[in-house]
Homo-oligomer: A and B are copies of this chain.
Amino acid sequence: MRQLTIDLGARSYPICIGEGLLAQAELFARVLRGRSVLVVTDETVRDLHLDRLLQGLRDTKVATMSLAAGERHKTIASVESVCNALAAARVNRDGAVVALGGGVVGDIAGFAAATYQRGIDYVQVPTTLLAQVDSSVGGKTGVNLPAGKNLVGAFHQPRAVVSDIATLRTLPARQLRAGLAEVIKCALIADAAFFAWLEANLATLLACDAAALEHAIARCCEIKAGIVSRDEREQGERALLNLGHTFGHAIETATGYEDWLHGEAVAVGLLAAASLSQRMGASAAGGSGIGAADVKRIRALLERAGLPVEAPRIGSRRALELMQLDKKVQAGRIRLVVLRAIGAAVLSDDYPDHALAATLQEHFGA
């Protein structure tokens, strides 16, 4: 087992990553012993993993509730149902929420914990690769509106994260691959050597090798933790973690959050961000972006991971419209994350408009 600490002063918390952690009562007892707990999960994960987690929670007073599975249930109504379940279980301010599931469960349960009685503790037990590398660090919680993804939410740090690698073996291959998109994103943002490690170890990861997964998850959490601890409320640097996401959110919104998994949309978004970066480099005096060979490497790794590299042809105008609804818009201008190099992302709002237009046309059609 590896343990990292996310360093946020009074809100610091540990992330435990390893095989078979769900049933390890001592991990949970540190934070939850003797407290009233509501376990929130979904119907799929409940059948696979709830029993083992209840072993791990044997020192606490537990109620459970199951949400319907799927991004389409990431709504304010689901948050309300969790809050009602908390009240029914008589959970008070000294109680806690345990989120057992993927990013959707974590986001809903985390937002409910952030707002029930104006904030109670929660513990994340992510069961997808995406959730283990992404939503377990950063404290973002929230739900979708019809108008867009994650438009309502709160910053709320968990008290602990327990990532059991064994849960990844029950994951559909498509979900595992979608998680790899976020792993590749982390490497692209901050660590060229990790990107090369991924190129060398992709097959091992896809085979769910425990050591490889532990390394990849831990490295992503470290990268993300470094960024988040310097910018908890997303005033600046933290926005780097949105590499590929503004493009990706447009795809998810256009397709109603159903046909595309988040990681799949991000994969295409990463490639779109890479294309834009290449165009900026070509147009800048000093040639500050990445080159065609880098874009090719990124595309190749995404393809080997079984991820999509073609966006739906919704048209560049519609794509731009959806991107403008994104939270990253400031004073009307979309701030985007671009690559100076593999392993070096930067924020930009001075990209040439024609470079963005050409990128959108390339990926989304005229």
Interface range on chain A: under 10, 10 to 19, 20 to 34, or 35 or more?
35 or more
A298 within 8 A of B: no
A146: chain B residues at CB < 8 Å are 84, 87
The answer to whether A145 and B115 touch across the interface, beta carbons within 8 angstroms, is: no
* A146–B84 CA distance with the chains assembled, in angstroms: 8
Known: A80-B152, A92-B327, A115-B142. 8 other contacts (CB 8 A): A76-B77, A76-B79, A84-B147, A87-B151, A90-B325, A117-B153, A118-B142, A118-B327
The answer to whether A327 and B117 touch across the interface, beta carbons within 8 angstroms, is: yes
Interface membership of chain A positions 150-163, coded 1 if the CB is closer than 8 angstroms to chain B and 0 otherwise: 01111100000000
The answer to whether B154 and A87 touch across the interface, beta carbons within 8 angstroms, is: no
Count of chain copies: 2
The answer to whether A151 and B83 touch across the interface, beta carbons within 8 angstroms, is: yes
The answer to whether A152 and B76 touch across the interface, beta carbons within 8 angstroms, is: no
CB distance from A335 to the nearest CB of B (A): 11
A293 within 8 A of B: no
A174 within 8 A of B: no
A148 within 8 A of B: yes
A327: chain B residues at CB < 8 Å are 92-93, 117-118
The answer to whether A331 and B80 touch across the interface, beta carbons within 8 angstroms, is: no
Among A77, A115, A234, max chain B CB count under 10 A is at A115
For window 131-187 of A, CB contacts with B under 8 Å fall at 140, 142, 145-148, 151-155
Picked from B83, B155, B234, B331, the residue with its CB within 8 Å of the CB of A152 is B83
